[in-house]
Amino acid sequence: MRSIVDLREASSARNSKSLVSKIEERMTKVLSDSGTVRPILSYLISTGGKRLRPLLFIWAAQACAETTGSTL
């Protein structure tokens, strides 16, 4: 069983920043593929708070089981 990540560790902070970068990349890809609804999605993505839920999901997956590239 894997231990829960100590968020006070510098490596955990770097890992979180890396995850947020991956989340932002995915959001940007969705935006570029969106076509007609692009202005609406652009507004929604540019407002804050859209990164916390995916980050919490990934942390929960890491705490409960091994994660894979498809977790994100």
CA distances to 4, 33, 36, 40 from 46, in Å = 31, 16, 17, 10
What's the number of domains the chain is made of?
1
Domain range enclosing 38? 10-64
Task: Give the tens place of pLDDT for each residue, 36-51.
Answer: 777 877 777 777 777 7
Q: How many CB atoms lie within 10 A of CB 58?
A: 19
Does the residue 24 lie in any domain? yes
Does the residue 70 lie in any domain? no
pLDDT, average across residues 54-60:
81
Among 52, 61, 65, 69, smallest CA distance to 1 is for 65
Does the residue 71 lie in any domain? no
Does the residue 5 lie in any domain? no
Query: Could you tell me the pTM of the whole model?
Result: 0.46
Task: Give the tens place of pLDDT for each residue, 7-35.
Answer: 455 566 567 778 888 887 887 787 777 77
